[in-house]
Amino acid sequence: MSIRHHIGDDTLMAYVNGTLVEPLSVVVATHLAICPRCRKSAALMEDLAGLLLMEAETAPLSPAEEAMADIIPSSASPDAGNDDQPLIKPDYSNTGVPMPLAERMPATLDDIPWRTLIPGISHYPLPKSGSQKNKGTLRLLKIAPGKTMPEHSHTGQELTLILRGSYIDDLGRFQTGDIADLDSETLHQPVADTAEDCICLIATDAPLKFSGFFSRLLQPVFGI
């Protein structure tokens, strides 16, 4: 698996700090299970957060610590990560997906009881847990080969992890293991590649905004 699209630094920092809503955290944890580069970035952020916490109680930041803080934003640049680390084999249990997601799955990826949204596009809402049950959405989405998703933007953040297959949009091609970390500024319209179904795990912290014809059709379904 060659992962090209990673978690944004702001998102990863929020995950480390425990401030991401739960559905977004599930997507981040699932990507971390298969991505050595993002695990390394998360570990660095955890170390730095611990260091800053200790220093905050004793003294202001030293120049060396400020220099360390400057390192963090660059960790998502193409050259900053070390992708040579061996991939730790994630625990897939019996569902064909990494463990942080597997425990939410009702069945294997091949046996999901999909619900059709429009021809060629179906979804399956996943259960949320914890004290934030009303915050955000977590769902599986299946796009048939060659099918175009209705163009949409977001009122908040949307994280999409590709579990099987691939799609293309304005940001490039997203393949198995890649994560799309989109904010409210992004308007996009993914098109599934033609080889197989594209199955994604998608979390939002606010409803999606569909534009054009599909808006009236899909908003009641997605706009929880």
Interface with Zn ion by CB under 5 A: which residues?
6, 35, 37-38
The token duo for 208 is 């999606």
Q: Residue 177 Cβ, how far from Zn ion at the closest point, in Å? A: 8
Q: Residue 223 Cβ, how far from Zn ion at the closest point, in Å? A: 29
Q: Given the complex with Zn ion, which of 80 and 221 has the nearer CB atom? A: 80
Q: Residue 78 Cβ, how far from Zn ion at the closest point, in Å? A: 12
Check the CA dihedral 21-100-36-40 and report its sign: positive
Residues 6+ apart with CB under 8 A from 43: none
Q: CA distances (Å), 18 to each of 13, 29, 60, 90, 125, in order?
A: 8, 12, 24, 22, 23
Q: Residue 35 Cβ, how far from Zn ion at the closest point, in Å? A: 3
Q: Given the complex with Zn ion, which of 98 and 150 has the nearer CB atom? A: 98
Specify which residues 198 forms β-bridges with.
143
Q: Given the complex with Zn ion, which of 40 and 188 has the nearer CB atom? A: 40
Q: Given the complex with Zn ion, which of 86 and 113 has the nearer CB atom? A: 86
Q: Given the complex with Zn ion, which of 38 and 162 has the nearer CB atom? A: 38
Q: Residue 31 Cβ, how far from Zn ion at the closest point, in Å? A: 6
HSE, side-chain direction, 13 A CA sphere, residue 93: 14
The token duo for 101 is 């997601």
Q: Given the complex with Zn ion, which of 9 and 65 has the nearer CB atom? A: 9
